[in-house]
Structure 1
Amino acid sequence: MRTRLGIAAGIFLGLLGSVTARDLDGRYANSPLHGWFDQLASGRGPCCSVADGQVVDDPDWESIDGHYRVRLENRWLDVPDDAVITVPNRAGRTMVWPLGSEDRTSIRCFMPGSMS
């Protein structure tokens, strides 16, 4: 069971890496979306220069009364309105750029995807 879980986690992280925003070692420098990710910003400033983006699965985000919430580490966090990225989502997946620690997490940027 652990072996299967480990393999599944490895595959997931490999796929996640293809859309992770910050590119510290340059491995995604040739990605067609590299420049687009570098330019992403919310009202809180640039996203990729200060935080690692991560994909959020559909069950882990929602919109209620025009405001977004995202579940990170089993906690629902309200997305500040000024953290929402308003340009069209070329990556196609919901992404969030959290900052902080387990005790205090803030959201630098949030890019909604389609709720399918």
Structure 2
Amino acid sequence: MKATVPGLSLAILVSLLICLVHARDDGRYSLSPLKPWFDSLKSGKGPCCSVADGVAIADPDWESKDGHYRVRIDNEWIGVPDDAVITEPNRAGRTMVWPVKGALGTTIRCFMPGSMT
């Protein structure tokens, strides 16, 4: 007879996901005047971490369509959840996205639109 613990698989999955979303800040932006601002950014999904975790997106790789944003990451268009959009003014000027890549694909933690110029 095989004994199982129902929550064990879920606990292992959650632990793996937590490890995947740890910040990758290696110190290269420590002297940037925008570092404290980036570190404070939050979306409805929570903290965005730091500039080291974000990815700058070129204008052809993001768009607003039908009132929602979407971004192209690894040649795939991904819808940005409304609660992932950062609503405060963009001090960096460039479009940035904080993707989270996992076993179920890529999701967007935070998105900050740029000027699209």
Q: Give the C-alpha shift of residue 75 in structure 1.
A: 0.5
Summarize the Cα distance change of 1:102–1:59 in structure 2 as closer, same or farther, 3 Å threshold: farther
Q: Paired residue for 1:104?
A: 105
Structure 2: distance between partners of 1:101 and 1:76: 16
Q: Give the C-alpha shift of residue 24 in structure 1.
A: 2.1
Asked if 1:53 is matched to 2:44, the reply is no
Summarize the Cα distance change of 1:79–1:71 in structure 2 as closer, same or farther, 3 Å threshold: same
- Aligned CA RMSD, in angstroms, stands at 1.8
Q: Give the C-alpha shift of residue 101 in structure 1.
A: 3.8
Q: Paired residue for 1:81?
A: 82
CA offsets, 1:22-76, max 9 Å, x none?
A: 6622221111100000000100000016x82000000000001221010000000
Q: Give the structure-2-normalised TM-score.
A: 0.74
Q: Paired residue for 1:114?
A: 115
Structure 2: distance between partners of 1:66 and 1:24: 33
Q: Give the structure-1-normalised TM-score.
A: 0.75
Summarize the Cα distance change of 1:75–1:23 in structure 2 as closer, same or farther, 3 Å threshold: closer
Alignment gaps of 5+ in structure 1: 1-21
Question: 8 Å contact 2:99–2:109 — kept in the other structure?
Answer: yes
Q: Give the C-alpha shift of residue 81 in structure 1.
A: 0.1
Of structures 1 and 2, the larger Rg is shown by 2
